Structure 1
C-alpha cells in the first residue's frame, strides 16, 4: 500500500528536477519504468532520463506545481499539476501554463508506470506560429 507520504515525496522530488540533477530520476523511478504521455512512450530509466535531458535543454524555464495528490488504490496515485514553461521559439518566449494529471503506479517505493494526461495542443501546437492560429480557430468553432 502506498502512503500519502510516498506520493507527496514523489511529487516534491519530481517538482525539484532540473537540467542539473536528472540523475535523481533513479531515486523516483524503477529501472524498468514505462512512461507515456500524449506525445511519447518510453521504456526504461535511461530513455526517460534522455527524454528529460532533451526537454530541459530546450526550455528557458520549466516548473511543475502540484495541487492535489492522492492514492486511488494500493499501488496507484493521481497527481494534479500545472506545468509552467518558456521556450524561446514558442508563444513569443512568454510563459505557457498547461494543466495535467499524472497516473503513477508504485512498486517498492518507486514509480514503475507513469502516464501523463494533458492537452497536447495547449502544451505545444497552439504556440507554433501559423499552426497555433489554425488550432485556436478550430477550437473556437467547436465550442
Structure 2
C-alpha cells in the first residue's frame, strides 16, 4: 500500500491503531522495547505457534523469536478498522541463517487486533506457517511443498 493511501486510511483512527502501524513498520531486532508503547499489560497474543497472555510473556516471546534473526521487517499493506477493532494486512520479510539458506523469506499475513486503554489488548495473527517456517527447512520443506501440490491437484 502506498504511504499516502495508508495515511488516508488511518485518518481519524484511534491512537492505539496509528501507534501500532507506526511501530510495526519500524520494528526490528534492535528495538523490541517499542512493543511496550503499543501493547496493554494484559494483552492476549495468538499466532499459529503460541498463545501468550500478558505483556511480559509477549515481550519474552518476541525476544526469543527475534534473537536468531538477521533481519525482520513488516510492510503494512492495508488496514480496515471500526471502533475498537482492526484488521491489518501485512507482508513480513525476514532472514534466519538456518532457514532458506539464509536468504530472505517473505510471508503474507493478517492480524485481528483490539484496542483498550489506548493500547492493543488483543492480537491474533493469521499466516501460512508452512511458507514461514516448514517450507524453509531443507528436507521438510520439500515434503511440505509436495504435500501442498498434491492437495491442490
**Contact 2:27/2:74 (8 A) holds in 1:** no
Picking from 96, 100, 124, the partner of 2:105 is 96
SS of aligned partner of 2:29:
coil
1:20 Cα shift?
2.8
- Is residue 85–residue 97 contact of structure 1 (8 Å, CA) maintained in 2? yes
Give structure 1 stretches of 5+ with no counterpart. none
RMSD between aligned alpha carbons? 1.4
**Structure 1: how far apart are the matches of 2:108 and 2:18?**
18
- Other-structure match for 1:127: 136
Could you list the runs of 4 or more consecutive aligned residues of structure 1 that deviate by over 6 angstroms after TM superposition? Answer: none
| TM-score normalised over the length of structure 1 | 0.93
Counterparts of 2:103 and 2:36 in 1: how far apart (Å)? 32
Give, in angstroms, the shift of residue 24 of structure 1: 1.9
The answer to whether 1:54 aligns with 2:64 is: yes
The equivalent residue for 2:51 is: 41
Aligned residue pair count: 141
